[in-house]
Structure 1
Amino acid sequence: MGTAPSPGSGPVRTCVGCRERGPRSGLVRIVAVEGTVLVLDERGGAPGRGAWLHVQERCLDRALARHALPRALRLQGADASQVEAALRAAIRSR
């Protein structure tokens, strides 16, 4: 995080928490299922709009405080509790 990706280094995504760009491999994808429930897209290939986030507590906290996940996914009233718990567990396990 914090370094600009080099040209030709693969797909680049923007973290909805810190707004920094980075390689797709350094972020996780979040998608909406059943309308408003947000979940981690483990494989990165689920259909529909996705939001990308660094697996860092700082980025998660910023995304939640700014309501960036529902906005990026173009949802109103999205339930981020399930994805928040999964991300916090992933952060602790790193």
Structure 2
Amino acid sequence: MSRGGQAKTRAAPERRCIATGESQPAAGLIRFVVGPDGAVVADVLGKLPGRGIWVSADRAALERAVKGKLFSRAARAQVTVPDGLIDGVEAALARRVIELISMARKAGRAVAGYEKVKNWLETGEARVLFQASDGSERGKSKLRPPDGKDSFFGVLTASELGLSFGREHVIHAALAAGGLADRVIEDAQRLSGVRGKTDGGQPAGKASRTYER
């Protein structure tokens, strides 16, 4: 406690990206460790033992780390970078976001479907609006994200968003404020960077089928 009885705000831990050389909050980077076999392993949850090697959650930074053999330099040893390492990071982050949204749904903190999402947006219940990257632009434009920072993500496809709600496809979803929403936002930001996406945009270089629901 500080003077006056106010709790001190703990600064978020920072880590240095081996690709950019910049330090930033760990929440915006991907942690890697070197396994017993000398292979680089992505530690998306940040729980694996070993010395962490950090790379910004940005596809260009990850590609630079792989192509420039920066993992070996950071580990000060010759390490093996598995083929498809970046795609594996992307898949792991997507699973993480899907699972967290599913947890929010089961806790009554997330809804899907145009009318339910519209109601949450109008009543102020929604903290974050998710819309499928391959959904109809005309349909998606009818809903406005909540005010505030990081209140919109278009990083999941309709089938990926559907997995969170036990459906084949979902175009619109909303999350209420709270701890789960904060965790979803953090990982959705990282997934957006790895997929090279802008708000509401498509994954770079990937064609998609458009669904209207």
Highest Rg: 1 or 2? 2
Q: Deviation digits for residues 6-44 of structure 1, max 9, x if unmatched?
A: xx5221101111111100111110011132221111221
TM-score, length of structure 2 as denominator length: 0.36
Corresponding letter in the other structure for 1:33? G
d(CA) in 1 for partners of 2:24, 2:69: 21
Whether the 8 Å CA contact 1:9–1:23 is kept in 2: the answer is: no
Pair 1:62–1:46, CA change in 2 (3 A): same
How far did 1:74 drift? 2.6
Q: Deviation digits for residues 44-87 of structure 1, max 9, x if unmatched?
A: 13211121011111101221232111221233142342523313
What SS does the aligned partner of 1:81 have? coil
| 1:18 has 2:121 as partner | no
1:92 to 169, 172, 195: 195
Corresponding letter in the other structure for 1:48? G
d(CA) in 1 for partners of 2:81, 2:66: 11
Which residues in structure 2 correspond to 1:1-94 (within 5 Å)?
Answer: 9-89=11-91, 90=191, 91-92=194-195
Identity rate, percent: 30
RMSD, aligned α-carbons: 2.2
Q: Which runs of 4+ in 1 moved over 6 A?
A: none
Q: More helix per residue: 1 or 2?
A: 2
What SS does the aligned partner of 1:44 have? coil
The structure showing larger relative contact order (alpha-carbon pairs under 8 Å, at least 6 residues apart) is: 1
Q: More strand per residue: 1 or 2?
A: 1
Whether the 8 Å CA contact 2:38–2:80 is kept in 1: the answer is: yes
What SS does the aligned partner of 2:195 have? helix
Whether the 8 Å CA contact 1:16–1:52 is kept in 2: the answer is: yes
TM-score, length of structure 1 as denominator length: 0.74
Runs of 5+ consecutive residues of structure 2 not aligned to the other structure: 1-9, 92-190, 198-213
Whether the 8 Å CA contact 2:71–2:79 is kept in 1: the answer is: no
Aligned residues: 87
